[in-house]
Amino acid sequence: MFEAERSAPTIESPCTKVCRIDDATGLCQGCARTLGEIAGWARMSAAERLHVIADLPHRRASLRAEPPYALAS
């Protein structure tokens, strides 16, 4: 193992063990990641993980903005 790999910080998964994909956004309702991000997390570089982590607040806000059901007119 290279020295840089040993000293690189570990970026933990944001998984909350609430695994439901929101149909409207395609995001997990627990961690706000896409299925591709969830499946590829272990293969992502630290930079890629940080990019996902940085976008989570915006994604969580979009999940909260989506109504959980269609309103009858």
- Residue 10: pLDDT band (50, 70, 90) is confident
pLDDT tens for residues 15-62?
Answer: 999 999 999 999 999 999 999 999 999 999 999 999 999 999 999 998
- In this predicted structure, what is the pLDDT of residue 38? 97
CA distances from 65 to 4, 18, 23, 62, 68 (A): 41, 18, 13, 5, 9
Residue 2 predicted with pLDDT over 80: no
First to last CA, the chain: 61
CA distances from 35 to 1, 4, 17, 29 (A): 30, 29, 14, 11
Q: Kindly state the percentage of the chain with pLDDT values over 90.
A: 68
d(CA 14, CA 30) in angstroms, rounded, equals: 9
- pTM beyond 0.85: the answer is no
d(CA 21, CA 63) in angstroms, rounded, equals: 10
